[in-house]
Structure 1
Amino acid sequence: MDRLRHQQSLALLKAAGWGDAARAPLAGDASARRYERLTQDGATAVLMDAPPRTGDDPAEFVAVARHLRGLGLSAPDILAEDLARGFLLLEDLGDALYARELDQGADEIALYTAAVDVLAHLHRAPAPHGLPDLRAADWAMAIAPAFDSYRRHALGEAGDADAVCAALTRALTAHADGPRVMILRDYHAENLLWLPDRAGVAQVGLLDFQLAQMGQRGYDLVSLLQDARRDVPPATEEAVLRHFDPTLAFRAEYAVLGLQRNLRILGIFARLAVEGGKPRYLALIPRVWGHVQRNLTHPALAEVAALLDLPAPTPDILDRIARCRP
């Protein structure tokens, strides 16, 4: 944090009674947001720093957090805010990230089932007014980074995405274009916390939801089970899928949404590596590619599979991407 933003944040903290707190950085994410844990008199809180004009509006975080808390879900409480400068003081939900708990041997199916129960609870509730609600064609066009970034950086040219987007639009319309629910979009093991001292759906802590919008009920399930950052065992995926919706019809929705999401992520990770100066995302691309290939085997995506022309992320291809310059 530069000197000016440090002084601006300190003004908020002093007004909120946290001016004397010790400050330590917390791990960030793919956005421009930064986080610090504050410690004062045995209590802790989290400072979110979302600089203006960087694509993140903290007012959206506040609105979604209050909606989720109103449903009895464990989004962090907003302790203080300076929306104009992009600072929020948040309740500290702790360090028990799903990813960390699972690595330490937590019951995988139990944690994932709890996360799915949160989704079902969220979907039963009316969504806030004014959330973005995209058409099937808009969702299909969102895979453009797979061509504009991944393919272009890998092969030197982006190719033609139009036919693929048209075929994906048809698949989305046929299998994943029903009634909309509120989706959180980045619902995965590094954005969920395990809070066993709470009860019911409140046992799952929620992070990184400010880009919530309207979407298909299977979207966040795809985010959870087709995780770009960790392998979810097939037995866990199958058990949780059955818990969420055991019907064969839902498997088509799951595959179509899974392809859409993972193609988009493929391109975004390549963009982050080259244009964002974050090469660590290249190591995640083979897992994302695996999700793409598995989804393409579903009959609902036969037309897309016949058209999709992207190179596999071999070591040579990843090395070419790594050597690209923005």
Structure 2
Amino acid sequence: MSEPANPHDPRAAQRLAWTRAALGDATAGLERASTDAGFRSYWRTQGTAPSRIVMDSPPDREDVRPWLRARDLLEAGGVRVPQVLARDVDAGFLLLEDLGGPTMAQVIDDANADAHIDSAITQLLTLQAMSLPNDTVLFGEALLQRDAGLFEDWYVRRHLGIELDCGDAERLQLAQRRLMDNALAQARVPTHRDYMPRNLMPVADGPAVLDFQDMVVGPIAYDPVSLLRDAFLSWPEARVDAWLRRYHARAIEAGLPVPDIATFLRDADWLGVQRHLKILGIFARLHHRDGKPRYLADAPRFIAYLDAVVPRYRELDPLQEVLEHTIKPAITRLSA
């Protein structure tokens, strides 16, 4: 259904007027295509052929310039990204090609997963081989410290409603420090930071990559584990292991700086733990601060991942103790 004119929503009226001017069609309409975890929204044009997508990025909430800068860098590096057909940066509107409806997350299944993952790895290898400007943000100590704080501040303290005692706080800090040191020791390459099936569109010359505005220079195992230990999809560990080995072999062929396979698998495991703790914090923040509760429904997936991986590594025993003795009992109380 097209978006009706709404005199009580100036942004909606501005969005529709800009779209009609960009298309040169005074009768064009808009319908919501999707939203994301930020403040951007996406709208599909109605009554025109071919259809287009309007990105609405309110300039007082989410500057569109980082998105455009990353898009241009990715395109120059050979990565398939949406084409920009018209733009008004100051107003926060972009007219984009319409890549179609379903994301990879909506079409991937047991039968076709190998093909989709292989195409995603192909695109990822292109991304990781890019050259980025010297001023590209480094996924280093500062970002890692910020990520580490999200779990305790938003998931533990705000969502579960508990304050860690001195012993648990020290154990969590020690585990986070070890996770950060592992990430900092890895070879650094261009890193999407959210390279997962929800952000990939299965087009013929793709997959096309979306939601790339937070691209940094970061640890080489980060994007592979984002893809294969997704925040919204779970696969059997044996299959994930096979895909990680497939990525590793292809990365060696591509000349990327991956370590030996045993080290790489450990690095992927540890980055998966770091990432899942961070996302638990982000999802809790989306719920409590931004009024977006649906993301927390996936929290049990993260806990299950931590249960599968953390016990493998004695160095992460401090985290295991906090999870078993404090976090899980609090989850049980909250869900009772």
TM-score norm. by structure 1 comes to: 0.86
Measured after TM superposition, the shift of residue 60 of structure 1 is 0.9
Distance 1:278 1:138 in 2: 24
Once the two structures are overlaid, the 10-residue window that deviates more, 293-302 or 56-65, is 293-302
Tell me how far 1:183 sits from its aligned partner: 1.1
Q: Match for residue 258 of structure 2? A: none
* Distance change >3 Å, CA 208–CA 18, structure 1 → 2: farther
Residue type of the alignment partner of 1:251: L
Give the counterpart letter for 1:305 in structure 2: L
Are residues 18 and 223 of structure 1, via their aligned partners in 2, closer, same or farther at CA, if it must alter by over 3 Å? Answer: farther
Structure 2 vs 1, CA of residues 76 and 296 (structure 1 numbering), >3 Å: closer, same or farther? same
Q: Which amino acid aligns with 1:6?
A: A
Of residues 225, 236, 241, the one that matches 2:239 is: 236
Find the counterpart in structure 2 of residue 53 from structure 1: 60
Distance 1:231 1:174 in 2: 24
**Contiguous gaps of at least 5 residues in structure 1:** 321-326
Q: How far apart, in 2, do the equivalents of 1:33 and 1:192 lie?
A: 17
Q: Secondary structure at the match of 2:133?
A: coil
2:41 is matched with which residue? Answer: 34
Contact 1:189–1:224 (CA under 8 A) maintained in structure 2: yes
Matched with 1:206 is: 209
Q: Counterpart amino acid of 2:278?
A: R
Name which of structure 1's ranges 230-239 and 242-251 shifts more when overlaid on structure 2.
230-239
Alignment match of 2:199 (pick from 184, 191, 196): 191
Give the 3-state SS of the residue equivalent to 2:281 in structure 1. helix
Q: Is the contact between residue 96 and residue 195 of structure 1 (CA under 8 Å) also seen in structure 2?
A: no
Q: Check conservation: 2:284, 2:296, Cα contact below 8 A.
A: yes
Letter in 2 for 1:178: Q
- In the TM superposition, what is the alpha-carbon distance from 1:67 to its structure 2 partner? 1.4
Tell me whether 1:281 sits opposite 2:286 in the alignment: no
After superposition, the Cα gap between the structure-2 partners of 1:37 and 1:258, relative to the gap in structure 1 and judged at 3 Å, is: same
Change (3 A) 1:251 1:136: farther
Farther-moved stretch of structure 1 (41-50 vs 6-15): 6-15
For residues 112-261 of structure 1, what are the structure 2 equivalents within 5 Å? Answer: 112-136=117-141, 138-159=143-164, 161=169, 163-174=171-182, 176-196=184-204, 198=205, 203-245=206-248, 247-261=261-275
The amino acid of 2:245's aligned partner reads: R
CA 1:216–1:174 in structure 2 vs 1: closer, same or farther (change >3 Å)? closer
On the 8 A contact 1:37/1:44 being kept in 2, the answer is: yes
2:72 counterpart residue number: 66
- Stretches (4+) displaced over 6 A: none
Cα shift at 1:158:
3.5
Which residue pairs with 1:311 in the alignment?
327
What is aligned with 1:302?
A: 316
What's 1:323 paired with? none
Distance in 1 (alpha carbons) for counterparts of 2:56 and 2:329: 34
Shift of 1:318: 4.5
| Alpha carbons 2:16, 2:30 under 8 Å: kept | no
Structure 1 residues 33 and 300: CA distance shift in structure 2, 3 A: farther
Task: Please give the per-residue CA displacement for 1:218-247, whole angstroms capped at 9, x wherever unaligned.
Answer: 111121111121222334312210111260
Conserved? CA contact 1:51–1:85, under 8 Å: yes
1:66-85 alignment runs, 5 A limit = 66-85=72-91
Structure 2: distance between partners of 1:25 and 1:157: 39
Q: TM-score, normalised by structure 2?
A: 0.84
How many positions carry a matched residue from both structures? 313
